[in-house]
Amino acid sequence: MTQPLLIFDLDGTLAETAGDLMATLNHVLASEGIAPVPTERARYLVGAGAKALLMRGFAAQGQTLEGERLERLYTAFLNHYDAHIADQTFLFPGVVAAMDRFEAAGWGLAVCTNKVERPARKLLEALGVAHRFRAIVGQDTFGVAKPDPRILEKTIQSAGGSPARAVMVGDSRADIETARGLGVPVVAVDFGYTDTPVTELGPDRVISHFDALWDAVQAVRAARV
C-alpha cells in the first residue's frame, strides 16, 4: 500500500511570502513610474503566480499589462524576487511541528504551487525545509497550473503517492478547486491569500493554526471511509 501523502500549497499556506512578493511588485511598478500598492492589499493580489500578481498589481493602479511589456516586466520581477526571496518571508507558526508529526506517523510530504519551480525550491531551501518534500512542483514543472487538477495528480505521482491516500492543504479557491477536481480532500487555512473567505469556498475543513492540522486531516480521511 502506498504511503499517505500530504500536499501543501506554498504562498499563504506554508509561508508568509507577501512581504517579499509585494516589495518586488512595487519595485517593478516604481521602474515604470507607477505608485506602489499598499502591502495590506497583498492577500487579495497574491496566490496565482508572479505573472498574475503583476497583472493584478498594475490593474489595482489603473494600468493594463499585457503583451511584450508583460513579458519584459515578468522577467524583471523574477530577477528581483530571486535576489530577495527570503528577506521578509517566514514559515507560519506550527508548520515544522506539524511536518514532524506527520512524518513520524509515516506520511510523505509534497508541495504543489503556482510559483515557478526554481524559485519555489530556492525559497524552501532558504527556509530550511526543502529536503522534507518528496516532490516540489511548480506551474512550469509539467506545464499545467492550479486549478487544473492534473498538476496535483502529477505531484502525487512524483511523490510516489496515490490520490486515494492524499490530502491537500491550501489557502485559496485554486487549491480547493484543484483538490476537488481530483477527488482529494482539502483542508484550508484561513490566514492565507484569497479574495473570498475560504469558509465560503467549500473545503472539507478549515484551520486557523497548524496545531489543528493533524485532527483536521484525520477527520477528512475518516469521512472518506
Catalytic residues: 9
All three cell numbers of 122: 530556492
**Amino acid occupying residue 86:** A
| Angle (nearest 5°) at CA 194 between 190 and 196 | 90
Cβ atoms of 57 and 64 closer than 8 Å? no
Cβ atoms of 22 and 42 closer than 8 Å? yes
Cβ atoms of 179 and 170 closer than 8 Å? yes
